[in-house]
Amino acid sequence: MARAAPRPCTKPGCTQLVHDGSGRCAKHPREAWRQARTPTKRITGRRLQAMRAALFMRQPLCEVCDGLGIVTLATIRDHRIPLAEGGADDESNEQAICAPCHEEKSLAEALRGRRRPR
């Protein structure tokens, strides 16, 4: 039975020829598939509403702006450590922030998530 012609390894920069049809040489095997980490389950409903109300009673101003000496009303309950990165959905991991600060923080988290190895 005829065999396919050898091809270069698919690892960028490698010029080793591969004869077995796998696409990779012995130095650059493919990584085994691994399941993504399951993010923490979000709190919803009345329990979430009660937690938000309690947070805004304790901390009515945006914590990020307050640190910069700016007085801004907080409108969003945010997680200091994102749930997707293993943060807990409880009082120890929440902060009150304004919409512009939340947007900036969310953009930074999204960029960090795109750079994260899979």
Q: Are residues 24 and 49 in the same domain?
A: no
Which range of residues forms the domain containing residue 15? 1-29
Is 2 contained in some domain? yes
Question: What value does the mean pLDDT of the chain take?
Answer: 88
Q: Are residues 105 and 76 in the same domain?
A: yes
Total number of domains constituting the chain: 2
Q: Are residues 49 and 98 in the same domain?
A: yes
pTM of this prediction? 0.64
Question: Can you tell me the mean pLDDT for 48-56?
Answer: 96
Provide CB contacts within 8 A for 91, sequence distance 6+: 51, 55
Q: What six digits make up the tokens of 34?
A: 């691994």
Question: pLDDT value at position 1?
Answer: 52
Percent of the chain with pLDDT over 70: 92
